[in-house]
Amino acid sequence: MVTSEASRALAWRDAYVNLAKTVGLAADEMLLADGSIQPLWQPVIEHFETLEKSDIRDLRQAALRLIHENGITYNVHGDPRGTQRPWELDPVPFVISSDDWERIESGLVQRAKLLNLVLDDLYGPRNLINQGLLPPELVFSHQEFLRPCAGIDASRELILGSADMARGPDGRIWIVNDRTQAPSGSGYALENRGISTRLFPGLFGRCKVRRLAPFFRSLIKTLNQLSPTKGNDPRIVILTPGPLAETYFEHAYLAAYLGVTLVQGDDLTVRDRRVWLRSLAGLEPVDVIVRRLDSTFCDPLTLRSDSYLGVPGLLEAIRANNVALANPLGSGVLENPGLMAFLPRIARHFLGEDLKLPSSATWWCGQKTECQYVLENLKNLVIKSINRSPNFGTVFADRLSAAELQVLRDKIKANPDSFVGQERVAFSTLPCLVKDQLQPRHAIFRGTFAAIGKGEFTVMPGGLSRAASGLGDLDVSPRAGGVAKDTWVLGDAPEAFASLWSEEGDRHQLAADERNLPSRSGENLFWAGRYAERTEGTARVLRRTLQNYFDGISRNDGVHDQQLNIMITALHTITETLPLSKSLEAGSRLADSYPEDELLSMLMDQQRIGTLSATLRSFINACYGVRDLWSLDSWRVIDSIDSQWKALQQSKAVFLFSFPNELNSLITQLMALTGLNLESMTRQAGWLMLDTGRRLERSLLLISLLRSMLLERRGESHDYLTMENFLAASDSLVTHQRRYRSQPNAESVLSLMLLDENNPRSLLYQVARVQNHAALFPGKKSTDPLLAEDKFLLRAHTQLKLCDVHELAQVDPVSGRREHLDKLLKNLTTLLIGVSEGMTLTYFSHVKSTSLLG
Amino acid sequence: MTPAVMKIYKIRHNTTYRYDGLASICHNEVRLTPLNMATQRCVSTSFAVTPTPATTDEFNDFFGNRVTSFSIQEPHEELEIEFNSLVEVTPPRWLGASEDPTAWDTAAEQLRSQSGAKWAEVRQFALPSPLIAPAADLRNYAAPSFTKGRPLAQAALDLMHRIYAEFEFVSGFTTISTPLSELLQHRRGVCQDFAQLAIGCLRSLGLPARYVSGYIETAPPPGQKRLIGADASHAWFSVYHPQAGWQDFDPTNNKQPNGQHITLSYGRDFSDISPVKGVMVGSGGHEIDVAVDVIPSNEFQSQTQFQQQS
């Protein structure tokens, strides 16, 4: 139906052109002056024109699903939707021609060279200031000019940087911002690319889009060469502020992608003027730090003394040239927007060239005439603080009221050195998918460069673009609702697929080098294992309790009431929670009370420690703390557990009847995760920690459940039901039936659950597994003397092996309890807690507080 | 003109930290080596740290002060740092209040038109620094001293007199992070506060001013022996005069240094040149003991005997 398609396309184009006219037709990237489509954009637009409304819906959903599955997030502080906000990607790429790209590339390389020279000068001889090319106040009042870092020769090379740029009404590309502190965006660009190639596989090939992997390959090479020790296999780490940082996802993603270790400040220590990683195997030397933590936080001794994110003594190692930082401390001084006013002169001074890509016209208020100009033309300008500050972002002065303008004017007059005015450039617009239509939106592209050898740079052919959310809006920040876009730089010929690890195979999906597994990551994995098992165990007991509850409703007899009472008591015991209402305390009869509230609370109350929801949250947090170590599939399961439970939390009405299904699904997913990890994690330190945590927790839960349910003799009919409940809650009812083909009795239950070495649910099985794992822990040799935790394990194992089931099953005629069993279980609890504490001391004791002396 | 009389001082500065628990590692940076300058020469300096540091480095900081950095890598509960120096001081010749031809407001106005390396260095001291930001209340406080057209040296001297007269020396009332606006209200503090207050006033008027850390010789009461460790760290301020250079004023003692002051280091404020600082990795708090002796050469002999007897 050619005609209908053509008319649909026409209608669509008319709508787009009309909207583009309202913000300036000439400024649209896709349209020519007469409203027709640029040849460059033709393939992309033709592709969209073949799409039905339903296809567009599918496309959008596919994009959302991919983002969700990959777990791409951006932490927006103070966001009402919660700190972690899913990344928003507009599926239409920003298409850049190879001609434009040539200009951008050479302009950005020039800028990188120039900024590198400025950095070297400011932390070296400061000729720019002494010779009057830069006013001293502009540099000396900038918070990122770090005096303790001046004069360190080995550490002032710019390695990574980026610049936000946009096309102005004159068709030229203008630089809006320089990012040299710890530029973000390259990891997001990779993710966006991964998504857009999956959304448009054919189109991507037809357009001959340039690939990103070669850029990262040269980045790895550069990082390797930075190592001051010049060894063959330098240790590279990415230093992150931690999971609460805005771009933590990217830190974790890049660490996994580049195959380097993700660390936080207290994973590192300085000894003998060297930086060391506290790893599970002890201290490992670190050669290169990719810094995603702002400089001032990096060393509490010499920089911000209130920082708990840094490494005390880091500057000692830097001064001794024993560690390289990318970027060096203090590189944020180049982000000062006031520099832009002076760059053209500096470019002529250093390079004898004019800037190939001009910066937005900038007036620094520290100069009298310029300040006067800014104050008089305030309404037409964008005002920025020379320091990046959470309290003063980019201010579009035309949007301010008269009163707000006055406040701004007073601020500038009170501290003119701190402000610049910049020309408000009306950036070009790009097509964005808005509902099911393409509409023009203003957009900015972030170009990223990296050093390749001394003073030489390469540019990533592509990168992160951002578009504003509303028609005519200029603010593209995520805070203002801006969305991300992939950027397609068109090449002359299709590029062959190139993996980052062309020679060694694709390590993308694999965990980072385990040689360097930081203690913190080991501990997180250990606790992820413990919490996963605690969640699963709690869910099983809850599921069985609910079944008893529903059975009791239909039968309404004393026997079921008592069984429900026993189950709820067991639930409280294993989760170490206290009953919500007094009437539920052991011994009282349930018939008089309402167990619904209690059950609901044990399921859903996030504030009450020990409930399923609270334990699940701890599990998710532990997983997020080692975001870089999970395989993509594992993360998908973790994320789906998280989002399903969150959806349940947010649903308006919650019915107990729906929970058996929810619990089934949760248990299945947790088991799937265990299975995935079993299949995808190498049997190295990380997996050993995870599985040890799991086994220890399972042992402790089992002991606790046994003590709560099987110590007391309750009489023939009750005992049978209790044992059945116990077996069901421990996922062993079927096993028992198959093995014994009879009603459970104390002896059969205890031999199956305590002593059966072949039952993966038995206590002996767990202890034996932990013992095997412990022998393989990092840094251990079979000839070493036993550590405290090994001794505890040996004792636990021996006690279990030596015990007599017949004796354990005996009920003391006086107390009516199984006293032998009680004694054994008490002993085992002490021993197993000893194992956990021993491991913490041996492997995890990295979390030490620091205090300031002075 | 009578030739200035040179004086020699022996300085002992002992700092002892006692931790509540065990520290596994400790990184430190100290600025306790007296500066060499026109009116002061550091003849010798030596230091001893217990436990023995695993690493020790010495370098000059951004302002040219001598920094000693060291790290202790063995578990320890106590850290003792002792610096001993021998210093020659010549009483400086300051620009007299009556001989100053430069109005303070002219100096402030012309500051930014001064170029070259020397002035670039000076101009940074007129800017806000971590602990000292120019403010309206500081400018108002300074106003009576800085009347229109008044010579800079005279105005600064008057500011020093007023701080001495209007503020009470009370230790323990302020900390180093007490804001200047609070100090202005309570009018109580110690030498660091008075120095930083004056610097804040001067910067609020657009004048470059810096913080000086050092010692001052104190005389024991007549007829009594000097008590060991009775002295303390001292601080004062300095303002830049376009013709005469840096001019020092001690508002705590109401005088310009006259041979009894020993300069350790200078910076924008205390945070640039804290004499002793460190970060300890371990748990719990700590106590600190500081003992300083500034002993003039004529007392060396008796001092030595005194120490031997005790």
Task: Please name the residue of chain B whose CA is at the shortest distance from the CA of residue A147.
Answer: B62
* Percent share of chain A, pLDDT over 70: 92
Q: What share of chain A in percent tops pLDDT 90?
A: 59
Cα angle for residues A296, A298, A300 (degrees, 5° grid) = 85
Name which residue leads in pLDDT, A380 or A13: A380
Contact criterion met (CB < 8 Å) for B283 and A849: yes
Task: State residue A52's pLDDT score.
Answer: 82
Domain with CATH 3.10.620.30 in chain B: 97-271
Contact: A854, B73; criterion CB under 8 Å: no
Nearest neighbour of B29 by CB, restricted to A137, A302, A851: A302
Q: What is the pLDDT of residue B307?
A: 42
In three state form, how does the secondary structure of A632-685 look?
HHHHHHHHHHHHHHHHHHHCCCCCHHHHHHHHHHHHHHHHHHHHHHHHHCCCCH
Whether B310 shows a pLDDT value over 80: the answer reads no
Answer yes or no: is pLDDT of B95 > 80: yes
pLDDT at position A281 is 83
- Which residue(s) pair with B18 in the sheet? B78, B287
Which part of chain B has CATH 2.60.40.2250? 7-90+273-309
Give B257→chain A minimum CA distance, Å.
26
- Give the per-residue pLDDT at A5: 60
Q: Residues of B with CB below 8 A from A364's CB?
A: none
Strand runs labelled E in A180-321: 236-239, 261-263, 268-271, 274-279, 282-286, 288-291
Residues of A in contact with B280 (CB under 8 A): 850-853
The whole-number pLDDT of residue A407 equals 95
**CA dist., res. A130 & res. A142, Å (int):** 17
> Does B281 contact A272 at a Cβ distance shorter than 8 Å?
no
Q: Which of A129, A150, A852 sits opposite B120 (nearest CB)?
A: A129
Report the pLDDT value the prediction gives residue B29, as an integer from 0 to 100. 97
In this complex, how many residue pairs, one in chain A and one in chain B, have their CB atoms less than 8 Å apart? 109
**Who wins on pLDDT, A575 or A716?**
A575
Q: Assess whether pLDDT exceeds 90 at residue A67.
A: no
Average pLDDT over residues B179-189: 94
> B123 and A141: CB-CB below 8 Å?
no
Residue A36 scores a pLDDT above 60:
yes
Mean pLDDT score, B167-171: 93
* Residue-level pLDDT at A2: 46
Look at A853 and B286 and tell me if their CB atoms are within 8 Å: yes
Structure tokens at A673: 């995760």
**Average pLDDT, rounded, for chain A:** 88
Residue B304 binned pLDDT confidence (cut-offs 50, 70, 90): very low
Among A609, A561, A550, A571, residue whose Cα is nearest residue A709: A571
- pLDDT over 80 (residue B33): yes
Q: Average pLDDT in the A86-105 region?
A: 92
Confidence of residue A503 (pLDDT cuts 50, 70, 90): very low
Q: Which of A433, A482, A438, A495 is CA-nearest to residue A62?
A: A433
Where is average pLDDT lowest: A97-106, A285-294, A715-724, B131-140?
Answer: A715-724
Distance from CA of B128 to the nearest CA of A (A): 7
Structure tokens at A647: 């959806």
Neighboring chain B residues of A273 at a CB cutoff of 8 Å: 55, 57
Comparing A204 with A763, the larger pLDDT belongs to: A763
- List % helix, strand, coil for chain B (3-state, nearest 5): 25, 40, 35
Determine, for residues B57 and A319 on separate chains, whether the beta-carbon distance falls below 8 Å: yes
Q: Name the maximum alpha-carbon separation found in chain B.
A: 61
Nearest residue in chain A measured CA to CA from B136: A414
Give the whole-angstrom CA distance, residue A75 versus residue A212: 25
Residue from the list A126, A137, A415 with its beta carbon closest to the beta carbon of B123: A137
Residue B45 contacts residue B82 (beta carbons within 8 Å) = no
pTM comes to 0.88
Q: Place A505 in a pLDDT band, splitting at 50, 70 and 90.
A: very low
State the smallest CA–CA distance between residue A232 and chain B in angstroms.
27
Inter-chain CB proximity B282 and A851 less than 8 Å: yes
Indicate the CATH number of B97-271 among 3.90.550.10, 3.30.450.20, 3.90.800.10, 3.10.620.30: 3.10.620.30
Distance from CA of A313 to the nearest CA of B (A): 6
Nearest CA-CA distance, residue A165 and chain B, Å: 32
Chain B nearest C-alpha distance from A230 (Å): 23
Write the class of the CATH domain B7-90+273-309.
Answer: mainly beta
Whole-number pLDDT of residue A583:
45
Q: Which residues of A touch B55 (CB under 8 A)?
A: 272-273, 316
Q: Is the pLDDT of residue B4 over 80?
A: no
Tell me which of B190 and A68 has the higher pLDDT: B190
Partners of B88 in beta bridges:
B8, B41
Do residues A735 and A759 make contact, with C-beta atoms less than 8 angstroms apart?
A: yes
Contact A427, A173 (CB under 8 A): no
Contact A19, A470 (CB under 8 A): no
Give the pLDDT confidence of A583-636 residue by residue, as tens digits: 445 444 444 457 888 899 999 998 899 999 999 999 999 998 888 888 888 888
Q: Which residues of A touch B28 (CB under 8 A)?
A: 301, 853
- Mean pLDDT score of chain B, rounded to an integer? 92
Residue A682 has a pLDDT of 73
Residues of A in contact with B278 (CB under 8 A): 301, 852-854
Mean pLDDT of A259-282: 92
Using CA atoms, how far apart are residues A387 and A383, in angstroms rounded to an integer?
12
Interface confidence (ipTM) of the complex: 0.94
Terminal alpha carbon distance of chain A: 82
The confidence score (pLDDT) of residue A84 equals: 66
Under 8 Å between Cβ of B265 and B63: yes
Output A590 or A445, whichever has higher pLDDT. Answer: A445
Q: What is the pLDDT of residues A509-550, one digit of tens each?
A: 333 455 668 888 899 999 999 999 999 999 999 999 999 998
- Summarised one tens digit per residue, pLDDT across range A145-156 is 999 999 998 879
- Spatial distance between the Cα atoms of A129 and A140, rounded to a whole number of angstroms: 10
Tokens of B122: 């000076």
- Domain locations in chain A as residue ranges: 521-680, 682-844
CB contact under 8 A, B278 and A852: yes
Residue B112 predicted with pLDDT over 50: yes
